[in-house]
Structure 1
Amino acid sequence: MLIDSADLDAKSAYKLLIGSVIPRPIAWVSTVSTEGVANLAPISFFTVVGRKPPRVSLSMQPRSDGVTMKDSFVNIRDTREFVSNMATLPQVEGLHRSAFDFEPDVDEFEAVALQKEPSDTVRPPRVKGAPIALECTVDRIFSAPDGLHHVVWGNVVRFYIRDDLLVAGGRIDFGAIAPVGRLAAEYTLVDNTFVPPLDTEVMRARAGHRIVRLDGKDTDYSPIDTPAWSPSGATTTPG
């Protein structure tokens, strides 16, 4: 099937994008408002855009009402700082709950029962227990003509790497992390790795194989079909 993007509204295009660009890493972004209120939110339109200086990118949409800027973006714009914490399985419940559109005066660490860890160079705290965190300062912000969609480039000024994860040669032992990524409106656990070529029998065994659901739901289940989903990346219920 061929679909002309010009025929799609924003919600329909978003559904196709988040189901096509998979898996996506999650930047679990902590910020602080100018009033000192801590904010925490998962952002899966996230990637690396530079090495020297090390630089990451966040693409940010409005809240679920379609017009109000998310607290994360307002805080980043106003304070020029943020921390990208790595999302992993042990903290996935807090990660998911932090996607709710809390009011700006709510400390989201407290709302989702997570502890803060002081950062080394920026005001926003790290998530205590996150194995990796990138302390960032804003390099630049690109804004779409509609004034509602923004891309933030952040320079990584400090890497926090849990001691046991940094191994010889300066690489990270990602096999010990249990990282969580984003599919469409669902999550995926990274629990295998390989380097091609693979054995023919392995390839044959995987042919037509569906992703295994860890939550026991039906194979055709999707949160997109529920009232809790919104085309903002946020959830409309706090649980």
Structure 2
Amino acid sequence: MNIDFSKLSGKDIYKVVSSTVIPRPIAWISTLNKEGVLNLAPFSYFIPLGAEYLIVAIGHKSSGEEKDTLNNIKETGLATISFVSTNTMEKMNLSSNELSSDISESKEYNIEMKSIDSAFPDMVSRSEGAFFCEFDRIVDMPHMTVPVILKIKKAYFQNNICDENYDIKMNNIARVGKSYAKLDNI
């Protein structure tokens, strides 16, 4: 089948790309709004952009408004990305539900958080690791998602995950089409 993207809707383009660019790691992003409410949401369009930068594509709410994650990153300039493994997958799925910006997903769904560095939003407590990031820029693109570039300032990994040579062995899961896959056999 020959597919001309200029003839597809944004939804169909998303479907083609998300079903073929696999696996896609999941960025479970925590941010704070200006009132101090912690927002926690997963995004499966997340890739490294060189050694120190990440790019996360953040979609819009079903209403068309910007997601709380994007608003909070713009307001505070900070984000923490917790990694998702099989032991956190169920809670990660719950946190994808749209809630009002004054309700914290971590409190609503009883997701325990912990502070590693007080300068950044808390990470998911049961996550094996996290990146602590500063906002760098938004890439202006006329699509359904907003590409946000974040600079990694610090990282945290459980002691049994990372050794003194920085060899890291995590039990991440990723999106594979519409499903999830454990990445231990890749």
Report the number of matched residues. 186
Matches within 5 A, 1:191-230: 191-193=184-186
Counterpart amino acid of 1:130? S
The 4+ residue runs of structure 1 with deviation greater than 2 A are 143-146
Normalised to the residue count of structure 1, the TM-score between the two structures is 0.74
Counterparts of 2:101 and 2:36, CA distance in 1: 11
Matches within 5 A, 1:24-103: 24-51=24-51, 54-65=52-63, 67-103=64-100
Deviation, 1:169, is 2.0
**Structure number having the greater helix percentage:** 1
Counterparts of 1:144 and 1:192, CA distance in 2: 35
Deviation, 1:123, is 3.5
Counterparts of 2:185 and 2:142, CA distance in 1: 41
Cα contact 1:85–1:134 (8 A) shared by 2: yes
Counterpart amino acid of 1:58? V
- The residue that corresponds to 1:12 in the other structure is 12
- The residue that corresponds to 1:178 in the other structure is 171
Counterparts of 2:119 and 2:146, CA distance in 1: 22
Structure index of larger Rg: 1
Counterparts of 1:151 and 1:121, CA distance in 2: 26
Cα contact 1:121–1:157 (8 A) shared by 2: no
**Structure number having the greater strand percentage:** 2
Counterparts of 1:168 and 1:118, CA distance in 2: 23
Point out where structure 1 has 5 or more consecutive residues left out of the alignment: 194-239
Counterparts of 1:11 and 1:100, CA distance in 2: 19
Aligned-pair RMSD on alpha carbons?
1.5
Normalised to the residue count of structure 2, the TM-score between the two structures is 0.94
Counterpart amino acid of 1:142? V
- The residue that corresponds to 1:120 in the other structure is 117
Counterparts of 1:139 and 1:10, CA distance in 2: 26
